[in-house]
Amino acid sequence: MSLVAPAQHADRILAGDERAVDPAALLTLLSGELDVWDTMAAADRVRRARFGRHVHLCSIINAKEGGCPEDCGFCSQSRHYSTHVAPSKFTPVSTVVEHSARARTRHATALGLVTATRGLDDDGKGLAHIESAIRAVREAGHTEAHASVGFLSEAALDRLVDAGLTELNHNLETGRSYFAKIVTTHTYDERIETIRRAKAKGLRTCVGGIFGMGEAPSDRVELAEALRELDVDEVPLNFLVGIEGTPLAGAEPLPPLEMLRIIAAYRLFLPRQNIFIAAGRTYLGQLLPLMFSAGASGMMIGDFLTTPNRGPEDDLRMLEELGLSPYGCGTAHPERIELAPRPRTRLPVVA
Ligand code: SF4
């Protein structure tokens, strides 16, 4: 294992070597062999050089809840498990637009439309509905419309892009070796194929995973390597919330310092990507604001799909007190950006 100090990794990254941390060094960073505070300090230097005081905020809406035919072991929406989530119809377009307006008041610049589906068939009602919803969000102009709708053919992607889709989310969930222990109804390669297809259409891609599912540090390295190889734009890091009724219900949440170690190690391995923290971030407890010191450049604001989040007022107040300000997705990924002045007034939240 490489034992290069985290500060040296940061030096090399800031000198222009984006791949200064190789997989072996990432494994060392993740393994607990190095002091987590040193890793965080290095990650924070990289974050500040790249993103300054800017933080990316996005929101999501469940555009079709529950009843999913896939068997992802962490998911409350799989029809393979008996959970608190009941299958729903597609969310009306007007409701999606309302959520987009609400997301904007919370300084989110994108609303992700999420469906609990294997994918959207080219000739199905689901694709037509999501197409309409994306078009309506775009025309309303509150936020960008992103989507997380499972597998999509080229033809389906074309329709969504024409409607105004700017970014596709399709998480890899974990490393390739561990994936089959979590999901058996589709393969890692099917997921990668959809991400590649979206990139070929010119879409930005949002691809991340979930930690705390029993994976080893080497599985976390595999996931990071896949993200680097795919050259994705945004990386959502989720921490398992063990939902009653799913196979992973009994899993203990990761300790907060372990969560911060993962965030910091990913920042050093993926210095250019927007790394944002989504589900399970409240397990950071009192250490929540330290996710930015650990290298996170964004967070999901507002409720998650089937679990509540902290109130957006608390999140916006936290940003204000940290001297951080929201930025627009896809607009602030220069090599280096100017530090934004601290907001003078409290960020307003409109109910
Ligand atoms: S494909 Fe998505 S909605 Fe379906 S079970 Fe897996 S994570 Fe849940």
pLDDT digits (tens, 9 = 90+) for 53-84: 899 999 999 999 999 999 999 999 999 999 99
Distance 32 CA to ligand 1 centre (A): 31
How far apart CA 144 and CA 134 sit, in angstroms, is 9
Q: Does ligand 1 have an atom closer than 6 angstroms to the CB of 68?
A: yes
133 assigned to some structural domain? yes
- Residue 34 in any domain: the answer is no
- Alpha-carbon separation of residue 335 from 207, 273, 281, 329 (angstroms): 21, 11, 27, 15
Report the distance separating Cα 185 and Cα 208, nearest Å.
19
Task: Please work out whether the CB of residue 70 comes within 6 Å of at least one atom of ligand 1.
Answer: yes
32 within some domain: no
Does residue 35 lie in a domain region? no
- pLDDT tens sequence across 231-253: 999 999 999 999 999 999 989 99
Number of domains comprising the chain? 1
Range of the domain at 80: 53-327
* Within a domain: 13: no
- Residue 36 has what pLDDT? 97
72 lines ligand 1 (CB under 6 A): yes
- Average predicted confidence (pLDDT) for the chain: 91
Tell the residue nearest (CA) to atom 6 of ligand 1: 72
> What is the chain's Cα-based Rg?
19
- Identity of the amino acid at 3: L
- Does some domain include residue 346? no
Place of tokens 């919330």: 241
What's the CATH code of the domain at 228?
3.20.20.70
∠ CA 45-47-51, rounded to 5°? 125
Model pTM? 0.92
Is residue 43 one of the residues assigned to a domain? no
Q: Is residue 74 part of a domain?
A: yes
